[in-house]
């Protein structure tokens, strides 16, 4: 996928998530829907440790570029970590929680970009 179509901060999130072998990376463009934010980046990890590692990498990569989250929720439980960057929100799910909450279905009207798995990623 050519992530150059994405706004730079969202592109940085996608690359950071892929660096930690995030699964099923999806970007939902909420701007056309007049939502409270412009985009969701949704991805999954197969363990609590991986979910936290993905979150840590996203925060680190964006911090290096001067972008900091306005809020972070769910880090300790690592079932669903939400990073609120105001213009976009990052959802890092454990696989089970992602299936349960199914944000892609809830926001199905949003244009969607599915990102191919990173080379060497573990298939679910």
Q: How far apart are CA 124 and CA 120, in angstroms?
A: 12
On the question of pLDDT at 41 being above 70, the answer is: yes
Write the burial class of residue 78 (CB in 10 Å: 0-12 exposed, 13-18 middle, 19+ buried): buried
Classify domain 3-113 at the CATH topology level. Answer: Beta Polymerase; domain 2 (3.30.460)
Which carries the bigger pLDDT value, residue 124 or residue 88?
88
Of 4 and 75, the structure prediction assigns the larger pLDDT to: 75
Rg (C-alpha) for the chain, rounded Å, is: 13
Distance from C-alpha of 28 to C-alpha of 76, rounded to nearest angstrom: 25
Confidence of residue 4 (pLDDT cuts 50, 70, 90): very low
Q: 5-19, 84-98, 108-122: which range is least confident on average?
A: 108-122
| Phi, psi (degrees; rounded to nearest 5) at 40 | -115, 135
């Amino acid at each position: 996928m050519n992530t150059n179509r994405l706004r730079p901060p969202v592109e940085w999130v996608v690359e950071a998530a892929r660096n930690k072998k995030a699964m099923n990376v999806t970007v939902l463009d909420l701007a056309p829907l007049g939502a409270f934010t412009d985009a969701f980046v949704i991805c999954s990890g197969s363990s609590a440790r991986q979910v936290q590692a993905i979150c840590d990498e996203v925060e680190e990569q964006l911090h290096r570029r001067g972008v900091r989250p306005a809020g972070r929720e769910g880090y300790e439980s690592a079932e669903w970590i939400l990073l609120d960057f105001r213009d976009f929100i990052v959802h890092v799910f454990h696989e089970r929680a992602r299936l349960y909450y199914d944000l892609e279905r809830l926001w199905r009207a949003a244009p969607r970009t599915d990102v191919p798995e990173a080379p060497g990623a573990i298939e679910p």
